[in-house]
Structure 1
Amino acid sequence: MAVCARLCGVGPSRGCRRRQQRQGPAEAAAADSEPDTDPEEERIEAGAAAPAGPGPGSPPPRCSLLELPPELLVEIFASLPGTDLPSLAQVCTKFRRILHTDTIWRRRCREVLHRYRHILGLWQPDIGPYGGLLNVVVDGFFIIGWMYLPPHDPHVDDPMRFKPLFRIHLMERNAATVECMYGHRGPHHGHVQIVKKDEFSTKCNQTDHHRMAGGRQEEFRTWLREEWGRTLEDIFHEHMQELILMKFIYTSQYDNCLTYRRIYLPPSHPDDLIPPGLFKGTYGSHGLEIVMLSFHGSLARGTKVTGDPNIPAGQQTVEADLTRRIQLPEAESPHSFDALSRVILEVREQLRQEQQEQEGEGCGQEPPPSPAQPQPEPPAEGAGGELRGGEGESATTQQPPESGQPFVLPAGVSSRNEDYPRTCRMCFYGTGLIAGHGFTSPERTPGLFILFDDDRFGFIWLEFKSFSLYSRVKVTFQNADAPSPEAFDEMLKNIQALTS
C-alpha cells in the first residue's frame, strides 16, 4: 500500500530510482514512522474546539473535517484526483494516516497503472528452446521486469540471480515512459505492446545504443567485460549455457520483439507430498535449469521453465508415480547400480502389463493371466537388504519417517553436485524425458524419483547413469498465483504445445 502511495507522491520517494537500481526487486516498503502529534493538526483541532462567543447573536460553531468519521473521510479522499493527495497528506497526521488506507490506493493504482496493470505477474519469454523466468512488479515509481537466472553451476542451493530487462515510469498521468534496461549501454527508450491479456512484447527503440562498429561479436565481448569483468574465453566453458541465453536475449531486444507468455505458480493441495513450486536443477553439461513441480492426483510432474537445445522449455522433464514406491536398502554403503536398475525395470514391466490388461478389457478381450507378485518383505534388522518395488503404495497412505532413511548414490552414477543430502524420506518409480539435439526422437526413460525434504528432490536417470539434484527457488514472486486449478492446467497445456 505504501508503494502505491509513492506512485502519486505520498510517502517516502527520495532515492527510489537509485535504490531500485542498486538493490534489485523489493517488496512494498512500510510507511515511514510518524509522530503522534502534529502542530498543524493541533491548531486545526484547537480552532474547531474553541467555544463560541457569548450572546444570542454569536455565529454557530464551525464543523471541522477532523470531526468526520474516518470511513467518510476515506470516501471523500478516494474521490479526489491523485495529484491533489500529496498536498492533502501534508495538512495533518490524521489525514496522512487516512491516506494510507488500502481502499484509496487500490483506486489510485487502477488510475495510475493504466493498461500496464495487465503485465504484472510471472512470465516466460519466448527465447527459442531456452525459455526463462520474468517477474513484472511495481517498485516505487516504476513497473520493472526482472529476469531471474539460476545460480552458477553446480551450486544448486545458492540463491537466484536477477537482472532488470525493462522499466516503465509511472509518474505521468496519461502516459508512461518505457526504458530498455538490458545491454552494455543503457537505459534507453523502449516499447511495450500488450498483445492480449496473457501475452505482451518488448522492443528497444534505440538500436544504435546497442550496436558497435565491430559487429555483434565485439558488442557481446564488450558486454562481457563490463558485466562480468572477464573475457569470453575465460568463462565460456564454465558458463556456456548461460552465455548462450544471455546473448539470445541481448540480440533479440533490438532485432526482434521479445514476446512473453503468462505462467502461474502451481496451486497446492492438503495431500501434496511437499509444497509445489519452482526448483533449480542440474542437467549435466547444460548447467542449472528452472523446473516447476506440480501434483496431479497420483503423479508428481516437473515442467521446464528454462530449457536447452535437447529438451526445450515447456516440456515435462520428470514424472513420478506416487503409487509405485521403491524401498531403498538400510545399509550405509552404496548399493550397486545393477540392483537399482533391476527393480526399476521390474516396476516398468509391471506397469506395462497392467496397461495391456486395461486395454484388453476395454476391447472386450479376456485379459491374460498376470504372474503372481510376491509380497515384499522388509529387510532384516541390521542387514543391507535388496531394493524393493512397492505395488500400489500411495504416498498419502505411507507417511515419511521423521528422521528419514540413509541415501547414497549407487556406484557408477555420476553427479555434478556431490553435496547432495545423505538421507531421504521416500523414493518412487519415475520417468524422465530425453531427446536428441533439436528435440528429435523424444522418449521417456525410467528412473528413480527421490524426495529428500520439503525443499529438495532428486532424479536418477537410468539411461545416462546420472543424478540430478533440485533445490527450491526461495523467492516471493508477486501476482503469480493461478486464479484456479483449471487455469493452471490450461497454462501447462499451452506452454507444452508451443514447443511440441
Structure 2
Amino acid sequence: MAVCARLCGVGPARGCRRRGAAREQRRGGAGDSEPDTDTDPEEAGGGGSEEDDEAAERIEGGRPLPHPAEPGPAGRAPLSILELPPELLVQIFGSLPGTDLPSLARVCTTFRRILRTDTIWRRRCREEYGVCENLRKLEITGVSCRDVYAKLLHRYRHILGLWQPDIGPYGGLLNVVVDGLFIIGWMYLPPHDPHVDDPMRFKPLFRIHLMERKAATVECMYGHKGPHNGHIQIVKKDEFSTKCNQTDHHRMSGGRQEEFRTWLREEWGRTLEDIFHEHMQELILMKFIYTSQYDNCLTYRRIYLPPSSPDDLIKPGLFKGTYGSHGLEIVMLSFHGKKAKGTKITGDPNIPAGQQTVEIDLAHPLHLPDIENLRDFSELSRIVLEVQEQVRREEQEQEHRQEEEDSSQPAAKPLGEEGAEGENTAAGAEGSTQDKAPASQPFVLPIGVISRNEDYPRTCRICYYGTGLIAGHGFTSPERTPGVFVLFDDDRFGFIWLELKSFSLYSRIKVAFQNAEAPSREAFDEMLKNIQSLAT
C-alpha cells in the first residue's frame, strides 16, 4: 500500500492532506470516511455516495472521469498514477488479484471510487474462478459482479476441491466446483456393479448462490422435493461440514419402504427382489447409510489427486473397481519411488475408507508362465510365493546392513559423492523396471480365481509382486497377504488376491475434477497420512 501511496502522491510531498482538508472545509466538514481494516474484497469499492456511483458508471461507459490530480504542463509525462486516464486504471486494477484490491481501496478516495467499477470484478470472477456466464444479467436482480466475487466466490473459496465425507468406514468422493453462478457440491458414485468401464454417476448434494445482495444462500439438494434450506460451516482449513435444515424434504409419501426401493433402483439399478438374497447384509448396512447420513451434520475432509512424474508406470489418479462381494469401490493409485499404493476413497465394513488396500513392489516384476500353465493356480501361487520369500530375505539383509552401519558409525561421504550414488541407484532401478516391461503378453485368470467381471483384458503389459490388505468385519485382524498386480494398459489394472482366490479389475475415472491438484508432494503425502490415521 505504501508503494501505491507514493505513486498516487499521497503525503506531504504532493499536498494530498491539504487538498483533503480543503475539500472537507468546502463540504462543511463532512468528508468521506475511511474504510475499516478488513481485507475482505467486499470492502473494495464499497460505501460511497450517488456521486460515486455515477462516476463509476461513467468509467465503465468509457467517458473520462474528472480526477482530483492537478493538471501538469502540456505534453509532460504523468508523474502520478492518478494522472492516468480512468479507463487505464480500470485495466490495471482488473489485472490484480481480487484479494489485493481491498488494500488498494484504502489508498485514497479516487481508488475506492474506481474499484466500484463492475468491469474489474467481472474480470476477477472470470480469471480466478472461471465464471464464463454473462454476468450482466445480474443487473436484473441488483447483484453486482463485486457481490458475486466477495459474497460467493471469495467467501466459499476454501471449500472448492475434492473431499471425502466422514461416513463411518464408507467414505465417498465429493467435488465442490464453481458452476456458472453457483457453487455446487457433486457427489460421485461408481457405476453399477460390475461394469467398471461405465462412466461415474453423480448427483448434487448442495448448492450456494446469490439470490439478493445481502448474503449467499445455501441449499440442500438431496431428496426428491427440490432444493431446500441448508447450512455450511468451514470448520478449519481443510475441513467443512454441511447440515440440512429441512430433512422432511428427504422423505417420500410412500414412507420408508418406498424410499428404500427408490434408492435401490437409483444406486444399484436393480429391484429389492433381485438382490435381497444375494446381498442381505450389505443392504442392511447401506440402508442405514441412506436413512441417516443426510439427516445429520456431515463432515468433509480435503483430499488431493496424486502428483505425477515422467518415471511413473502409468499416470496416477482415481480408479473404480470391483472388490469381492462389496460391489465397486473408488481407489487412488499413487507412486512413491519403488512402491505404488492403492488407497481406498470408498470403503466397506471390512476395510474402511482411507486404508491402503494394495501395495505394489515395482522392484520385483513377475515373469508369468505361458498361457496354459497360467491357468493352473498352483503354478501362479508358486511363482508369487518365491518372490515373497526373496523380498523377505532382502528386507532382512537390509535391516542387518543398517544395524552394522549404525554400530560402526562410518565417516560421512562428501555430499556430491553421496548424491551421485543415490541418483545412479535410482536411475538403475527405474531403468531396470522399464527394460523388463514387454509390449504385451497373453493373460488369463487361473482356474478357481473368482472375478465379478469376466470382461477383463486378455493381454497385459507387465505384472508385479504386491500385497493386499484383508480383514474381518469391523476391520478386525487386518493383515497384508501376497498377490499379483497386473497392468493391462494406461487406464486399467487388476490385482489377484492369492489367499482369497479373487480378482479385482480397476478402470480409470475420466473426470476432470476441479481444484483437486496438490500444492506440493509434501502436502499430498501428509494428506495420505491423515486419511489413513482417521481410518484406524
Scaled by the length of structure 2, what TM-score is found? Answer: 0.67
Quote the offset at 1:402 in angstroms. Answer: 6.6
Corresponding residue for residue 397 of structure 1:
432
Corresponding residue for residue 452 of structure 1:
488
Corresponding residue for residue 348 of structure 1:
388
Distance 1:81 1:157, change over 3 A: farther
- Give the whole-Å Cα distance in 2 for the aligned partners of 1:291 and 1:281: 8
1:110–1:117 Cα contact (<8 Å) kept: no
Deviates more, 1:435-444 or 1:350-359: 350-359
Counterpart of 1:467 (choices 494, 503, 508) is 503
Distance 1:194 1:289, change over 3 A: same
1:71-126 residue CA offsets vs partner (Å, 9 max, x unmatched): 644236677799863xx79xxxxxx9x89973798995642424211100000000
Counterpart of 2:331 (choices 291, 297, 300) is 291
Corresponding residue for residue 253 of structure 1:
294
Quote the offset at 1:394 in angstroms. Answer: 4.3
Corresponding residue for residue 423 of structure 1:
459
2:192–2:269 Cα contact (<8 Å) kept: no
**Do residues 437 (structure 1) and 473 (structure 2) align?**
yes
Corresponding residue for residue 498 of structure 1:
534
Corresponding residue for residue 413 of structure 1:
449
Distance 1:246 1:74, change over 3 A: farther
1:326-368 residue CA offsets vs partner (Å, 9 max, x unmatched): 1113446743111110111111112222222333344449xxx
- Give the whole-Å Cα distance in 2 for the aligned partners of 1:204 and 1:411: 50
1:37-78 residue CA offsets vs partner (Å, 9 max, x unmatched): xxxxxxx99x99xxxxxxxxxxxxxxxxxx979864423667
Corresponding residue for residue 308 of structure 1:
348
**Do residues 199 (structure 1) and 236 (structure 2) align?**
no
Amino acid at match of 1:481: E
2:90–2:114 Cα contact (<8 Å) kept: no
Deviates more, 1:212-221 or 1:331-340: 212-221
Counterpart of 1:477 (choices 513, 517, 520) is 513
> Which structure shows the higher helix fraction?
2
Quote the offset at 1:409 in angstroms. Answer: 1.1
Distance 1:322 1:458, change over 3 A: same
1:130–1:309 Cα contact (<8 Å) kept: yes
Corresponding residue for residue 205 of structure 2:
165
1:282–1:468 Cα contact (<8 Å) kept: yes
Counterpart of 2:173 (choices 125, 133, 138) is 133
- Give the whole-Å Cα distance in 1 for the aligned partners of 2:379 and 2:453: 23
Name the SS of the counterpart of 1:122 in structure 2: strand
- Give the whole-Å Cα distance in 1 for the aligned partners of 2:468 and 2:283: 23
Name the SS of the counterpart of 2:511 in structure 1: coil
Any residues of structure 2 matched to 1:258-407 within 5 Å, and which?
258-331=298-371, 334-364=374-404, 394=429, 396-399=431-434, 403-407=439-443
- Give the whole-Å Cα distance in 2 for the aligned partners of 1:277 and 1:396: 23
1:276-297 residue CA offsets vs partner (Å, 9 max, x unmatched): 0000111111011000000000
1:148-186 residue CA offsets vs partner (Å, 9 max, x unmatched): 000111111110000111111134444111111112323
1:224–1:231 Cα contact (<8 Å) kept: yes
- Give the whole-Å Cα distance in 2 for the aligned partners of 1:315 and 1:104: 33
Scaled by the length of structure 1, what TM-score is found? Answer: 0.72
- Give the whole-Å Cα distance in 2 for the aligned partners of 1:331 and 1:215: 55
- Give the whole-Å Cα distance in 1 for the aligned partners of 2:217 and 2:114: 21
Q: Which runs of 5 or more residues in structure 1 are unaligned?
A: 1-7, 9-43, 49-66, 90-95, 366-391
1:14-49 residue CA offsets vs partner (Å, 9 max, x unmatched): xxxxxxxxxxxxxxxxxxxxxxxxxxxxxx99x99x
1:324–1:394 Cα contact (<8 Å) kept: no
Amino acid at match of 2:156: Y
Quote the offset at 1:434 in angstroms. Answer: 0.1
**Do residues 102 (structure 1) and 127 (structure 2) align?**
yes
Corresponding residue for residue 36 of structure 1:
none
2:189–2:201 Cα contact (<8 Å) kept: yes
Q: Which runs of 5 or more residues in structure 2 are unaligned?
A: 1-41, 43-60, 65-83, 96-111, 132-144, 406-426
Any residues of structure 2 matched to 1:203-218 within 5 Å, and which?
203-211=243-251, 216-217=256-257
Name the SS of the counterpart of 1:278 in structure 2: strand
Quote the offset at 1:397 in angstroms. Answer: 2.6
- Give the whole-Å Cα distance in 1 for the aligned partners of 2:125 and 2:355: 45
- Give the whole-Å Cα distance in 1 for the aligned partners of 2:241 and 2:432: 47
2:165–2:172 Cα contact (<8 Å) kept: yes
Amino acid at match of 2:293: S
- Give the whole-Å Cα distance in 2 for the aligned partners of 1:319 and 1:350: 17
Corresponding residue for residue 187 of structure 2:
147
Corresponding residue for residue 155 of structure 2:
115
- Give the whole-Å Cα distance in 2 for the aligned partners of 1:317 and 1:226: 27
2:362–2:433 Cα contact (<8 Å) kept: no
Any residues of structure 2 matched to 1:44-59 within 5 Å, and which?
none
Name the SS of the counterpart of 1:123 in structure 2: strand
2:316–2:333 Cα contact (<8 Å) kept: yes
Name the SS of the counterpart of 2:353 in structure 1: coil
Amino acid at match of 1:285: S
Identity over aligned pairs, percent? 71
Name the SS of the counterpart of 2:163 in structure 1: strand
Amino acid at match of 1:295: F
Distance 1:330 1:457, change over 3 A: same
- Give the whole-Å Cα distance in 2 for the aligned partners of 1:104 and 1:471: 30
- Give the whole-Å Cα distance in 1 for the aligned partners of 2:443 and 2:349: 32
Name the SS of the counterpart of 1:177 in structure 2: strand
Distance 1:113 1:332, change over 3 A: same
Distance 1:218 1:417, change over 3 A: closer
Amino acid at match of 1:351: V
Name the SS of the counterpart of 2:432 in structure 1: coil
CA RMSD between the two structures: 3.6
- Give the whole-Å Cα distance in 2 for the aligned partners of 1:283 and 1:175: 45
Name the SS of the counterpart of 2:486 in structure 1: strand
Quote the offset at 1:320 in angstroms. Answer: 0.6
Amino acid at match of 1:136: V
Any residues of structure 2 matched to 1:34-73 within 5 Å, and which?
72-73=89-90
Deviates more, 1:346-355 or 1:121-130: 346-355
Corresponding residue for residue 38 of structure 1:
none
Quote the offset at 1:209 in angstroms. Answer: 2.7
1:130–1:245 Cα contact (<8 Å) kept: no
Corresponding residue for residue 375 of structure 1:
none
Corresponding residue for residue 189 of structure 1:
229
1:300–1:320 Cα contact (<8 Å) kept: yes
